[in-house]
Amino acid sequence: MKVVAVGGGHGTAVSLRALRRISNDVTGVVSVADDGGSTGRLRAMLNVAAVGDLRICLSALADSENPLARSFEHRFSVGELDGHAVGNLLLVGLIDATGNLEESVCAAAQVMGVTGTIIPASSEGVVLVASTGEGKTRGQTVVAQSSSIRNISVEPRNAAAPIAAVEAIENADLILIGPGSLYTSVLAACVVPGIAQALAGTTARKVYVANLHPELPETAGYTLQDHVDALERHAIRPDEVLVDVNCEFATQPCSLPLIVADVAGKSGMVHDVQKLAQAVNA
């Protein structure tokens, strides 16, 4: 079975770990729109694509015994390196040396013993643009502070999706969309034109993994149907929605078929990898 996770950051990393438990053919299609923290500083200095979400997803599928993989998430705490993750620095170094984002991610994956494939959602860095109740805003960090987002897109508007990402979606049997910040993580990957078209045309079973809690202020007050409506405004139409049995979404009406299952971890803040794997493979 060929499986794909689309999104970014820690939510997609959890989906990737879950999918690896049910398949040996796993691909992550990951947003490169981030502009905060270490990633934002590196983008500003070097004019490179956002690498933070790629780093997190590479770590999710890496060999835990690999020395580089074990240090990939280490963050420096002194001097000019303060706050930078080892993985971010390695990835931007590879991009600077090769001039190619996809090749750089592949090179990092090889030396980390990654089982599966991580592909950026676009072949170059993109800027997230949102239409909100207050007007247009640009940049993921700024967009995430709005509670009145209507639509998002990326600049450049003709940003190309890697052929490998499009083919992975087209050939998939199962695609997990999310979990993660609806607009600034999940849709940030999905709205890249080639990715959106591939998601619309694929015959794969598409499951939207709903968050366990609201992302504040981004989706403050959102019902489950509000999440589905936001996806559909961007031409993303899942076949099913997976919600945790103890989440408020589990009792809310939805226009799409629901999978209601115990998928939360012990803390109730993040999805449990094994439970998620079982729920989507039932």
CATH number at residue 52: 3.40.50.10680
Please check whether residue 282 lies inside any domain of the structure. Answer: no
Q: What pLDDT, in 10s, does the model give residues 22-81? A: 999 999 999 999 988 887 787 877 778 889 999 999 999 999 888 888 888 888 877 777
Return d(Cα 138, Cα 258) in angstroms, integer.
34
Question: Is 176 among the domain residues?
Answer: yes
160 within a domain of the structure (yes/no):
yes
Q: Does residue 189 sit within a domain? A: yes
What's the predicted TM-score (pTM) here? Answer: 0.95
Q: Do β-strands 149-155 and 127-132 pair in parallel, antiparallel, or remain unpaired? A: antiparallel
Q: What's the pLDDT at 68?
A: 85
Say if 47 falls within a structural domain.
Answer: yes
Helix (H, G, I), strand (E, B) or coil at 210: coil
Q: At a CB cut-off of 8 Å and minimum separation 6, what does 149 contact? A: 130, 131, 132, 143, 183, 218
Q: Residue 233 is part of which domain span?
A: 2-242
> Could you tell me if residue 181 is inside a domain?
yes
Q: Where are the beta strands (DSSP E) in 124-204?
A: 127-132, 135-138, 149-155, 174-177
Q: Please tell me the predicted confidence (pLDDT) of residue 44.
A: 76
Residue 184 confidence (pLDDT) = 95
Domain count, the chain: 1
Residue 50: predicted pLDDT: 87
CA distances from 37 to 50, 53, 64, 88, 124 (A): 11, 12, 25, 11, 19
Q: Is residue 179 part of a domain?
A: yes
